[in-house]
Each structure stands twice: as C-alpha cells, then as structure tokens.
C-alpha cells in the first residue's frame, strides 16, 4: 500500500474513532508477529515442523509422552521467551487512555496488550495466556516463569505441587473448546460496540472469527487492518492492507490531532 493511500485511509479511520463512543479491538497473529512471535499457521511457522495432531488436548491429557513432547516444544522453541509490545499494542493502549476503548478481544496468548498498558479487565483472551499454567485437577494456576525454571532444572513433565494433577499451559489446545464465559463476554461486547476494529487477523479461526459478524449485524461499523484478505472484507467500511503497527500508528497520529484540536 502506497503512502498516500495509507494516509487517506488512516485519516478516515481516525474520523470514525473520533466519533465513536465504545470501540472493540479484535487482534490476531498479525499483531504478535511484529513482536517476533511466530505465527503457527504461516509458512515457516511451528506447524511446518510439527504435526498439529500430536498437540491435541486429548493426547495431552491421555499420554505422559504427549505432555513431555509438548513441554519440550514449549521449552526448545522458547515460545514464552520474553518479548515486548510493538507499536500496534501501544496504539491500542492509547485508545484506552483516550477513553475510546471498551475492550480488546484477542486470539493471541502472549498477554502483550496488558504489558503495553491495557488494563487486564479490558482484555478478553479467547485462547488463554502462555504466561500462566493451569492444574487440570484442582484448578491452581502457576506463573509460567515458575514452570520454566522447573523445566530448566530438568523436570520433563511438571505436575501440580498441590495435588499432583496434570499441568497444562493455560491456553486452548487443538480439540479443546474455548472457555464459555470468555467467549460469551466477547460476543456481548461485540454486539454492543459502535466500532469494531480488526487488527492482524485473517478471520479464519472459528468461533472467534464470528465476532466481527456479530458486531456488524448489530449495527457497528467495521474497520479491518490486515495484510491478507478476510471473509469480512466486503462488510468493512475501511479496509487497510498494511502491517498492524504501521497502520495503527498512523491512525493514532491522526486521532491525536483531532482530539488535541
């Protein structure tokens, strides 16, 4: 996308944001990749090197060997290595500081929206968070940093210290349903916003990909910022084919001029 086109679209998006009262930002892998986090599904991603069928919830629960394989993937690929928010995260946090953001609904599991400054109670993590580990038996949660240390010290399949139950990264695995409460809340927020902004998602992973349609069907205006096509493109009032950080930074620069007057 050339500079003049991006500038024009950013101006139009800033106008919509300026006039909106309740904005939902919906973020996908295209936001996290700009922080150096691999996109599992893209060429060169994790699933180019591993079979997703080996990483299902059913295998994780049913086999100690499967748990060992998944924990070693987590450790060796350093999927929880310290990463930092990028300009897209900070731009969305700025929406909150300016009183425009109702919530962030994210498909990402890195919790970088909170790191960038969005309050935790305004971030709905549809697929959980890699910063937490959950005991499937007693429900106790551990910081991932604590479990990483146990892996580093040689524990191949960490178990719960309280009840010896199975520990699982607090994320949704293949074959595992999204948490009902989180998805229901996300659907409610989508249906009651006046502007729904998709940032860095191709909208192909269901049921999360239904949420923009919920918003549009309820009368919200739709902005889509994504490098590739999405099934919702025709319903978007503004469609920006650009990287998340570049587009959101430009939009927020335009918005700042409008709000600072």
Catalytic (active-site) positions? 127
Return the DSSP state at 56. B
CA 95 to chain centre: 17
Determine contact, residues 197/211, Cβ cutoff 8 Å: no
Q: How many CB atoms lie within 10 A of CB 148?
A: 18
Question: What per-residue string of b and e applies to 118-142 under the rule 16 or more CB within 10 Å gives b?
Answer: beeebbbbbbbbbbbbbbeeeeeeb
Report the distance separating Cα 87 and Cα 245, nearest Å: 5
Report the distance separating Cα 170 and Cα 134, nearest Å: 5
């Amino acid at each position: 996308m050339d500079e003049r086109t991006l500038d024009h679209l950013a101006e139009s998006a800033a106008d919509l944001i300026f006039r909106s009262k309740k904005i939902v930002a919906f973020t996908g892998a295209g936001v996290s990749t700009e922080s150096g986090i691999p996109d599992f599904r893209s060429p060169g991603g994790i699933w180019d090197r591993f079979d997703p069928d080996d990483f299902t919830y059913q295998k994780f629960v049913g086999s100690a060997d499967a748990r060992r394989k998944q924990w070693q993937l987590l450790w060796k690929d350093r999927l929880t290595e310290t990463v930092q928010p990028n300009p897209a995260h900070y731009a969305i946090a700025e929406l909150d500081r300016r009183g425009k953001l109702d919530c962030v609904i994210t498909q990402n599991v890195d919790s970088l929206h909170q790191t960038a400054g969005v309050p935790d109670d305004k971030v709905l993590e549809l697929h959980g968070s890699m910063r937490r580990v959950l005991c499937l038996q007693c429900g106790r949660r551990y910081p991932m940093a604590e479990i990483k240390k146990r892996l580093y010290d040689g524990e191949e399949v960490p178990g719960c210290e309280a009840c010896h139950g199975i520990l699982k990264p607090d994320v949704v695995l293949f074959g595992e349903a999204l948490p009902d409460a989180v998805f229901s809340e996300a659907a409610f927020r989508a249906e009651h916003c006046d502007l729904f902004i998709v940032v860095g998602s191709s909208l192909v992973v269901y049921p999360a990909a239904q949420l923009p349609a919920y918003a549009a069907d309820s009368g919200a205006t739709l902005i889509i910022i994504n490098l590739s096509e999405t099934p919702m493109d025709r319903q978007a009032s503004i469609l920006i084919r650009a990287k998340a950080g570049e587009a959101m930074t430009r939009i927020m620069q335009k918005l700042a001029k409008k709000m600072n007057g």
